[in-house]
Amino acid sequence: MKKPNVIQTILSVAACKLTRGILRHTGRGGTAVPGIVAMKLAGNILSAVTDGMQIVVVTGTNGKTTTCNMIEHACTSAGCNCLLNKSGANLLHGIAADLISNATWLGKPKYPYAVLECDEAALKQFVSYVTPKAIVVTNLFSDQVDRYGGVENTLKEIRTGVEKSPASVLVLNAEEPLSASLALNVPNKTVWYGLDRGVGTRGKVDLSDAGVCPVCGGEYAYDFHIYAHLGGYRCTKCGYHRPEPDVCVTSIDQMTSQGTRIHLRADGKEQEAQIALPAVYNVYNAAAAVAAAKAMEVSVVKAIDSLASVRSSFGRLETFDLKGNRLQMILVKNPAGCNQAFSYLTSLDEDFTAVLCLNNRTGDGHDFSWINDTNYEMLCSDPHVKKIYVGGDRAQDLFARLQRAGASEEIMELFTDYQALVRLLEKESRPIYALPNYTSMMELRQALMQATGTKDFWE
């Protein structure tokens, strides 16, 4: 596609900045409109505003936002000025809006580096305009089935994107067989990240997303498991197997609600590292970030060091101070993510209060039957759960699911008003863990921000 001329570029950039300014002024954050307007005025404005930029795109089911956050922090720590699409608008026009409004009026990029969270289906559109230096895929799990028609379809969408971008380095999870298969039959270089066989976890084994061998259609056998369908898979027919990770977590030494201490091997050297976030899935996100640094040719040593000071983002183990008591929020939107959150909570040796919220609006996916595939039994059988608040549009369904999982009615309480809930929580003395899905998180977060006087990220 032809590059836009100077007039088109200036008009397009100005229109983007202006619409974005107006929308923000009226209290609306991440949105696609400025990107749509800009791309209408100059079809290929994206290639102009990213000219010479080193871009890493992060896609996959779970962990995109945290991984992006970690990569941005790694780049910044290594002295590379890096743009991050913080607004969470991860479809083509939302990404475009972030890139264009962070260019000069003449359409030149202000940042030499960018880390972009990208929706799985939007990747193939984005790479039509821009060739990323690296494409990171976190993992693939069943998610929002009514949107894409299953995890196999999502894999196909990503594969189309990868095939359009042969010069990008792939950064792939060695233990997740679906996304690992993206390295087959493409010329792209690959950096693998993963956990060593010795790193056992208490995560639930669930092979429903594992699929079959992409080479011969054979069944997988596992030499070791991490959680869900992640582990040391190998095809029983043709021998296709998990690749050896280039960035490998060799042990998880200690985990508390404040963070995780690990050993990690990268570039042939093993070293200790601290991750300022808890939970095993964040160990994967950290390994992905270090692997991305390697793919971007940013200092791997600095990337590892930076994990100790990475901060949580929007709803991902975000912590609120409720009159001296700690509330940690974990966004959950599918069985795999929710089970991992339960696995984290039950690994902590302390009494706690849980807040579970479930909506099924457009932003969540209307089909909420995923709660039937989620291991609420793990949460309900933990003697440390002393209270469970249940809310959201589907509170009754979630309440019934928790009853089936064995939660006693004495510890459960339904709520409808988020502000009233926060007032109740302020009287608690136990740590609180809130597990909302997307749109219920927005409501809960709003009430928490009002109560604690926290400001939103774009303010």
Contact positions vs Zn ion (CB under 5 A): 213, 215-216, 218, 235, 237-238, 240
Taking the complex as a whole, how short is the minimal distance between the CB of residue 180 and Zn ion, in angstroms? Answer: 13
CB-nearer residue toward Zn ion: 218 or 363: 218
140 and 151 Cβ atoms separated by less than 8 Å: yes
Give the residue carrying structure tokens 């994107």: 161
Rounded Cα gap, residues 76 and 80, in angstroms: 5
H helix runs in 323-394, sequence order: 335-347, 376-380
Taking the complex as a whole, how short is the minimal distance between the CB of residue 188 and Zn ion, in angstroms? Answer: 21
Taking the complex as a whole, how short is the minimal distance between the CB of residue 184 and Zn ion, in angstroms? Answer: 11
CB-nearer residue toward Zn ion: 240 or 389: 240
- One-letter amino acid at 151 equals V
A 10 A CB-CB count for 46 gives 24
Report residue 235: phi and psi, to 5°: -75, 130
Euclidean distance between the first and the last CA atom of the chain, given in angstroms as a whole number? 36
Taking the complex as a whole, how short is the minimal distance between the CB of residue 241 and Zn ion, in angstroms? Answer: 9
220 and 180 Cβ atoms separated by less than 8 Å: no
Taking the complex as a whole, how short is the minimal distance between the CB of residue 140 and Zn ion, in angstroms? Answer: 18
CB-nearer residue toward Zn ion: 185 or 450: 185
CB-nearer residue toward Zn ion: 152 or 297: 152
Taking the complex as a whole, how short is the minimal distance between the CB of residue 229 and Zn ion, in angstroms? Answer: 16
419 Cβ neighbours under 8 A, 6+ residues apart: 447, 450, 451
CB-nearer residue toward Zn ion: 221 or 400: 221
Write the CA distances from 12 to 35, 40, 92, 96, 113, integer angstroms. Answer: 9, 8, 16, 11, 22
Taking the complex as a whole, how short is the minimal distance between the CB of residue 210 and Zn ion, in angstroms? Answer: 13
CB-nearer residue toward Zn ion: 218 or 243: 218
332 and 435 Cβ atoms separated by less than 8 Å: yes
> C-alpha dihedral over 35, 38, 43, 45, to 10 degrees?
-90
CB-nearer residue toward Zn ion: 231 or 278: 231
